Structure 1
Amino acid sequence: MAEENPLLRRAYSLDGDPDKTRDVYADWAESYDRDTANEFGYVAPGLAASELAELVSFDGVVLDAGCGTGLAGEELHRRGLMTIDGIDLSAEMLDVAAKKSVYRTLSVADMTQRLGFADNTYDGVICVGTFTSGHVGPDAIDELLRITKPGAPVVVTVHEKVWDKDGYLNHLRKLERQGLMRVREIKDSPYHEKAGYRCQLCILEAA
């Protein structure tokens, strides 16, 4: 069972301390793909990538925010998107992602801080598995919208454990009222399929 995996338990018990987060993912980097894809049935990267690929042209430039070992990047690449940048807090996870040869650039970044990209840089942004317990809160969506071109999509997954607790829907509605984006669709979707975890798959459009 996924809940019995000690690294997943450590990940879900994080409290937002970036040093603790780096430590967990440094330890998990080498076995992450095997654990999540095979043991947990981690289907969220493929589902999110399918949504983004429907909305971005093949020559579009995409950011995979919180890319980890590159599971979502691989899924985007399979769907014909070839220019993908990735950012993550963990250098060790990025080392694994680099071996997949699907990214144009990979860099360490803290999504709780302002990102080092100009406004309106990307034709699309995807973020899978980062909006979850003790990782990144809803305010980080603001930055993803800032760096996305007007009218372009931002696709994010939000783990079921934090959707209500951390007020994601209220935050999205606030961003809509402020004219910063619109919600195209929010879908209740599988996340860790074998473990029964679900997420809200949010398809947003930057303004």
Structure 2
Amino acid sequence: MASENPLLKRAYALNGDQNQIRAVYANWAKTYEADTLIGMGYVAPAIAAETMAQEIGQNDVILDAGCGTGLVGKELRSLSDAVIDGIDLSPDMLDQARKKDVYRTLNKADLTASLDIGDARYDGVISVGVFTSGHVGPTAMNELIRVIKPGAPAIITVHEQVWHKDGYRDHLDQMEKDDLAKICTIRETPYHQNEGYHCKLCILQAA
């Protein structure tokens, strides 16, 4: 069921234009957590972080791709001893994440382009709220897999609205055929509980 929440309508109406996305999140950064966690019942960060905590070892170095205000990083650090680096398109969201003091580094990055990160640098990658309407498409998953070590986990949420429309399942199957990643599990989990939205929680492993 489509949400009537005007904040989500604005976010989901984005068309992939990076300047427009930056502008929306610049205006939203300071109230984002109250609006999403409390107003929308945004549970995806906690669910994904709990899943990642079960997949990693002590002091593993994890990339939080599209870290926003740091909701995932905060959850993951409460559950593990992970060292976490964060990247995001929005400098204003990164400023909010910096206040949490849970990240080793925080840098601006465009997930629709090649990342300025070497191959196989991380012990895992987590990305929550990025693969959704008008933000980042499925091909960005290839870069996330590239920057993690062989056998390392990738925990990625895909909003239910784009899962079929944007061909995520087909893309993941192709990644597996191309020996880029193994699909371990794909399960449906709550996303914005108060809005009735779910997501596909994708648990992948780099080949």
TM band (smaller chain): over 0.9
Deviations along 1:111-152, one digit per CA (max 9) or x if unpaired, are 000001100000010000000000000000000000010000
Deviations along 1:62-86, one digit per CA (max 9) or x if unpaired, are 0000000000001100111331000
Give the drift of 1:58. 2.1
In structure 1, the residue matched to 2:85 is: 85
Contact 1:85 1:106 (8 Å CA) reproduced: yes
In structure 1, the residue matched to 2:114 is: 114
In structure 1, the residue matched to 2:150 is: 150
In structure 1, the residue matched to 2:26 is: 26
Give the drift of 1:45. 0.4
Contact 1:88 1:94 (8 Å CA) reproduced: yes
Q: Distance in 2 between matches of 1:4 and 1:101?
A: 34
In structure 2, the residue matched to 1:46 is: 46
Q: Distance in 2 between matches of 1:89 and 1:5?
A: 23
In structure 1, the residue matched to 2:203 is: 203
In structure 2, the residue matched to 1:99 is: 99
Q: Distance in 2 between matches of 1:46 and 1:38?
A: 13
In structure 2, the residue matched to 1:159 is: 159
Q: TM-score, normalised by structure 1?
A: 0.97
In structure 1, the residue matched to 2:69 is: 69
Give the drift of 1:8. 2.0
Q: Distance in 2 between matches of 1:192 and 1:152?
A: 28
Q: TM-score, normalised by structure 2?
A: 0.97
Give the drift of 1:200. 0.2
Indicate the SS of the match to 2:133: coil
Alpha-carbon spacing, 1:82–1:179, altered in 2? closer, same or farther (3 Å): closer
Structure 1 vs Structure 2 CA RMSD: 1.0
Give the drift of 1:6. 3.0
Indicate the SS of the match to 1:86: strand
In structure 2, the residue matched to 1:177 is: 177
In structure 2, the residue matched to 1:37 is: 37
Q: Distance in 1 between matches of 2:32 and 2:3?
A: 15
Give the drift of 1:194. 1.1
Contact 1:82 1:102 (8 Å CA) reproduced: no
Q: Give the counterpart letter for 1:147 in structure 2.
A: V
In structure 2, the residue matched to 1:129 is: 129
Give the drift of 1:9. 1.5
Q: Give the counterpart letter for 1:159 in structure 2.
A: H
Q: Distance in 2 between matches of 1:159 and 1:95?
A: 25
Contiguous gaps of at least 5 residues in structure 1: none
Give the drift of 1:4. 4.2
Q: Distance in 2 between matches of 1:10 and 1:81?
A: 36
